[in-house]
Amino acid sequence: MSSETPTGHGVEERAFQTEVQQLLHLLIHSLYTHSEIFLRELISNASDALDKVRHRALTDKGVLDADADLEISIDVSSSAKTLTLSDTGIGMTRDEVVRNIGTIAHSGSAEFLKRLAESKEQGTQEQLKLIGQFGVGFYAVFMVAERVVLTSRSADPDAEAVMWESTGDGTYTLAPADKKERGTEIKIYLRDDCSEYLDAHRLEGIIRRHSDFVGYPIKVGGKQVNNTAALWTRPRSEVTAEQYNEFYTHLTGDPEAPLAHEHVIVDVPIQFYAILYLPRQTPMPWLFNPEPKVAVHLHVRRVFIQDDCKELLPLYLRFVRGVVDCDDLPLNVSRETLQHSPVMAKVRATLVRRVLSLLEDMAKKDESQYLTFWRAYGTVLKEGVPSDTENRDRVAGLLRFPSSLEDDPTTVVSLQTYVDRMQSDQKHIYYLAGENREAIAQSPLLETFRQRGLEVLLLDEHIDEWVVNHLHKFGDKEFQAVDAADLDLGAPPRIEGVEDASREQTIELVSFLKKQLEGRVSDVKESTRLTDSPCVLVVPQGGLSQNMERLLKMTDRQFEATRRVLEINPRHAIIRNLGQVLQRDRDSAELREWAHVLVDYVLLGEGTVENPQRVTRGLQSLLEVASASRAGQGS
Ligand code: ADP
C-alpha cells in the first residue's frame, strides 16, 4: 500500500499495532459517555510537549523557534465541523510519530488490554482509571473524531514536518507536510453526534474543569481561558477541592479522587512548594517491584525537571503522588547533584514530616478513612520502622495490627490502643507472628493469654516481626514474643475441677521425654501457659521464632532450624495418662513412640511437619492401641 519515495519520506499507509486497534475499538464503543475527556488528554499531551521544549531550551540554544511563545490554541470551524488544537511544544519527527502514535509506547500494552477487558464488568470508572494509568490518552480523540489529521514539526532544526492521518479504523497514513513552526497541530473532524464541541462555551467549561492548572496559556479562539499560575503556587484558600482533585487526575491518570492531599508552601530556609496526594487505592505496579520508585515530580521555579524523583521522598512513602517545585535549585540541576544536594535533603525532611502529619491527622479524625489507606499501603509504610530511624516513633504510632481481643478478623488496632487497654501491672506488649491471622489465632500459645485476659497482637505479614524487632519498645513498653521459652507469666489461674498430675509423675515424665527426644528438642519443661492443649513448642533464648525460620527457609533450603523447647501441660488428661503409663512401665515401647507423637502433634498444628512418615507411624501405633481397647470394651 506504500507509495514511498526512495528516501522513505513519501505517503505511506500503515496498520496500527494490534493492541492499538483493540484499544481504539474499546474506547469508541465503551467510553463514549465520557467523551469530553479527550480534550483533557490532548491538552495534557500538549502541556508535556511544552515542558519538554522549555527544558531542552535551557541547555540547547539551537532548538527551532527558540523565542516562540509557549502556548496551546484551540480553534473551531463550525462550517467544516472541525476543532484544531495546536501547541508550540517539542513536536515529533516522523519516527517519533510512528513510535508514539502508531504503537502503545508502554511495554505492558498487552497486559493493559487484558486488564481493560477484565474491567469491563466493573464499569466505566474502572476502565477510565486504567486508561489513565497506562497512558493511552491520545486515542481518546477517536471518541469524538471521524477523522484526525496530526501535523508535527520537531524542535530539532533538521527534522522535516510530518502529517499523520487516521479514521481510527485500523490504519493510518503518513506523509511529508509543510509546517514551518515548531510544534504539533491536531485537526479533529468531529462526528455528527459530537457537534457540542464546536461550542466555545462548552470548550471553555471543559478546560476550566479539567485543565485550569496547566501552566501555559490555553486560548480558545484567541482568548485565554485558564489561570496559568501553577496550582501549587496559589494560596491554599484560593484552590478548590475540585481543582486539587483534577490536578491529581492530571498527574496520575487516576479518575478516582485521592483520599487526602497536603499543600506545602515553605519560605525559609528554603523556598519550595509541593502538593502531595494520598491515593485511595490506585494500583501502583512499582509498590512491590524489585525496583520501586517515588512517583513525585520535580520542578524548579515552575520549570518541569524530572518525573519520579527519588530524592524527594524515602521509599517507604512511595505510595505518595504529587509535585514539588523548588526555587533554590539551579535549573540545570543534574541527577548526581540532586543526590548530594543539601537543599534536597532539607526539602525531603520537610516533606516526610508533612506526610506523616497528614497520616496522623487522618488517623485521629477519621479512622475509617485511615483504614482505607492502611489496607492499601500499610505494608509499605511499615518499612519506615527499620529504614527511617529519625521518624521511627512517628511511624510506630501509625502502625495497625490484628489482635487476639478482636473477634472480627478485619479489625486492626494501633499500638497506642493496645497500651491504653493493657492490664495495670502488664509490662509487655505481647505478640505472636505467623503466616496468617487465622492460623496464629488458633495457636495453643494464646491459651493462657485468653485465660488471663491479656491481649496479643497477631502479626500476619512477613515484615512484621522485623518491624517489631527494630522497634523493640513502644513508649516504655517492650515487645515480647509469646513463643519465647523464658516468658514468665506467673502461675496460671486454677481451673475448677482440673487436677494437676502429681509433681513426682510430671518430673519423671519430663526427664523421660528429654531422653527420648534428644536431638529433636533442646529441652522439655513443665508449662504454665497452657489450658486446653497438652503441649507446645517454644523458642529458647537467642533462637529464631518459628515464623522467622519459615521465612528464612523460603530463601535458604539448607537452613538449619533452631531446636525448640517442648512444654507439657501437667493438667491435661493426655499428659496425666502418659505419666501414669510411665509409672507402670519405665521402658514402654509405645511411650517412646508417643513421645515423638507429642512433638509431631504440635508441628501438625503449626503446619510445619518435617517428616510425615514418622507422623503416620505414630498415628498407626496410637490407633492400634485405641482400637484394641475399644474392641476389648465391646466384647
Ligand atoms: P502518554 O501521553 O500517556 O504518553 P499518549 O498516547 O497520549 O500517551 O501519547 C503518546 C506519546 O505521543 C506521548 O508520550 C508523546 O511522546 C507523544 N505526543 C502526544 N501528543 C504530543 C504533542 N502534542 N506533542 C509532542 N508529542 C506528543
Query: What separation in Å is there between the alpha carbon of 355 and the centre of ligand 1?
Result: 32
**3-state SS, residue 296:** strand
The confidence score (pLDDT) of residue 2 equals: 47
Q: How far is the CA of 105 from the centre of ligand 1 (A)?
A: 9
CATH classification code of 232-368? 3.30.230.80
What is the percent of the chain where pLDDT is above 90? Answer: 61
Question: Atom 14 of ligand 1 has which residue's CA nearest to it?
Answer: 100
Looking from the CA of residue 87, the nearest atom of ligand 1 is 23
Q: Give 10 Cα–ligand 1 centroid separation in angstroms.
A: 23
Which residues have CB under 6 Å of ligand 1? 41, 45-46, 49, 87, 89-92, 100-101, 105, 135-138, 184
Instruction: Give pLDDT, residue 21.
Output: 79
Specify the ligand 1 atom closest to the Cα of 138. Answer: 7
- Ranges under pLDDT 70 in the chain: 1-9, 27, 29-33, 104-113, 116, 119-125, 127-136, 493-501, 634-635
Spatial contact of 501 and 576, defined as CB atoms under 8 Å apart: yes
CA of 100 to the centre of ligand 1 (A): 6
Please state the atom number of ligand 1 nearest to the C-alpha of residue 90. Answer: 25
Homologous superfamily of 503-634: Heat shock protein 90, C-terminal domain (1.20.120.790)
CA of 304 to the centre of ligand 1 (A): 16
CB 281 within 8 A of CB 371: no
In CATH, the architecture of 399-481 is 3-Layer(aba) Sandwich (3.40)
Residue with cell 511495554: 107
Residue nearest to atom 3 of ligand 1 (CA): 135
Q: 93 CA to middle of ligand 1, Å?
A: 12
Chain-centre distance for alpha carbon 591: 52
Instruction: Identify which of 45, 51, 101 to mutate to test ligand 1's pocket (most ligand atoms within 8 A of the CB).
Output: 45
Concatenated DSSP letters of 381-419: HHTHHHH-STTHHHHHHH-EE-BTT-SSTT--EEHHHHH
pLDDT at 597: 92
For residue 42, the CA-to-ligand 1 centroid distance in Å is: 8
Residues 150, 601: Cα–Cα separation, whole Å: 73
Going from N- to C-terminal start, the domains of the chain cover 12-228, 232-368, 399-481, 503-634
- Indicate which atom in ligand 1 lies nearest the CA of residue 106: 4
**Which atom of ligand 1 is found nearest the CA of 183?**
24
Question: What atom of ligand 1 comes closest to residue 186's alpha carbon?
Answer: 23
Joined together, the cell numbers standing for residue 564 give 525448640
What pLDDT does residue 125 have? 67
Nearest CA to ligand 1 atom 4: 135
Handedness of CA 78, 79, 82, 85 (dihedral sign): negative
Give the H/E segment covering residue 14.
Answer: strand 12-15
- Distance from the alpha carbon of residue 97 to the mean position of ligand 1, in angstroms: 9
Q: How far is the CA of 22 from the centre of ligand 1 (A)?
A: 19
Ligand 1: which residue has its CA nearest to atom 19?
A: 45
> Quick one: which atom of ligand 1 is closest to the CA of 46?
23
What single DSSP character describes residue 11?
A: B
Q: How far is the CA of 253 from the centre of ligand 1 (A)?
A: 14
Distance of CA 46 from the midpoint of ligand 1 (Å): 8
40 to each of 17, 73, 169, 246, 491, how far by Cα in Å? 24, 13, 23, 10, 70
Looking from the CA of residue 137, the nearest atom of ligand 1 is: 7
Q: Which CATH architecture does the domain made up of 12-228 adopt?
A: 2-Layer Sandwich (3.30)
Which residue CA neighbors atom 1 of ligand 1 most closely?
A: 135
Going by their DSSP bridges, the two strands 82-87 and 413-414 should be labelled as unpaired
- What is the whole-number distance in angstroms between the Cα of residue 332 and the centre of ligand 1? 24
**What would the grid cell of residue 336 be?**
548526581
Rounded to the nearest whole angstrom, what is the distance from the C-alpha of residue 48 to the centroid of ligand 1?
Answer: 8
Pick from 232, 238, 203: which is nearest to 218 by CA?
A: 203
Q: How would you classify the pairing of strands 183-190 and 145-153?
A: antiparallel
Using an 8 Å Cβ cutoff, are 394 and 360 in contact?
yes
| Model pTM score | 0.77
Which residue among 20, 41, 48, 307 has the greatest number of ligand 1 atoms within 8 angstroms of its CB, and so is best to mutate? 48
Atom 10 of ligand 1, residue of closest alpha carbon: 100
What residue's CA is closest to ligand 1, atom 18? 45
